Amino acid sequence: MSGRTPALTPPDSALAPVRHPDAPAPGEPIGTHYEHCFGCGGEQPHGLHLAAKAGEGVSVTAEFLVRPEHQGAPGLAHGGLLATALDDTLGALNWLLRVISVTGRLETDYLRPVPVGTVLHLSAEVTAVDGRKIYATAEGRLNAPDGPVAVRADALFVEVKVEHFTDNGRPEEIQAAMDDPDQIRRVRAFEVNP
């Protein structure tokens, strides 16, 4: 990173992350937490449709194809969209810790342009945990897992209770998620960061 802010630097008392015993095994798809999520949801026609997989330790990988509807400047991915991709990939880490958390801070560095047609390969890992705070880092590479680094980010997630979502979300969507007869989908809708 170009210079991590103090809010993204774990304190000396922070602990190394521990993968939850019920976390998906390395290589397993993590799947969407909510079908209408812009990052990972399949029901968002212009969404990223990120496909995340569990990695070793407390890490994940994901990828997405930058499509014409993702443009900022002509022929290039919008910077905010790239931050969204990093944020959603970082949010998938919560499946490995088995906690509910939200993004508290996301600091993004843009290193190279990302052209339309690029497959952005993302990787993220938790670096430390301190109480309710989860420190993580991510990067996005062009067209291959070992391609040139185009974007990277440091993040701070904060563990929350499910009421964070149910008390603050729009009632129609909350009720629709609660009414889903698929119990697993109903629970997953409220498990990972917005």
Of 54, 84, 52, give the one whose Cα is nearest residue 66.
84
pLDDT score for 165: 63
Token representation of residue 155: 């993040």
Strand partners, 130: 133
Cα-to-chain-centroid distance, residue 35? 15
DSSP code string of 90-153: HHHTHHHHT--EEEEEEEEEE-S--BTTPEEEEEEEEEEEETTEEEEEEEEEESSTTS-EEEEE
Of 130, 132, 126, 125, give the one whose Cα is nearest residue 164.
132
Burial class (CB in 10 A: 0-12, 13-18, 19+), 12: exposed
pLDDT score for 192: 52
Question: How far are the Cα atoms of 73, 100, 154 from residue 125, in angstroms, in the given order?
Answer: 30, 16, 10
Cα-based angle 104, 110, 112 (whole degrees, multiple of 5): 155
- Which domains are assigned to the chain? 26-159 (3.10.129.10)
Q: Do 26 and 125 form a contact (C-beta atoms < 8 A)? A: no
Distance between CA 86 and CA 108 in Å, rounded? 8
10-residue mean pLDDT series, the chain (194 residues): 76 95 94 83 89 96 95 96 96 92 95 97 98 97 98 95 68 70 59 50
Residue 141 has a CB neighbour count (10 Å cut-off) of 21
**Is the pTM of the predicted complex or chain greater than 0.85?**
yes
Cα-to-chain-centroid distance, residue 58? 13
Residue 155 has a CB neighbour count (10 Å cut-off) of 26
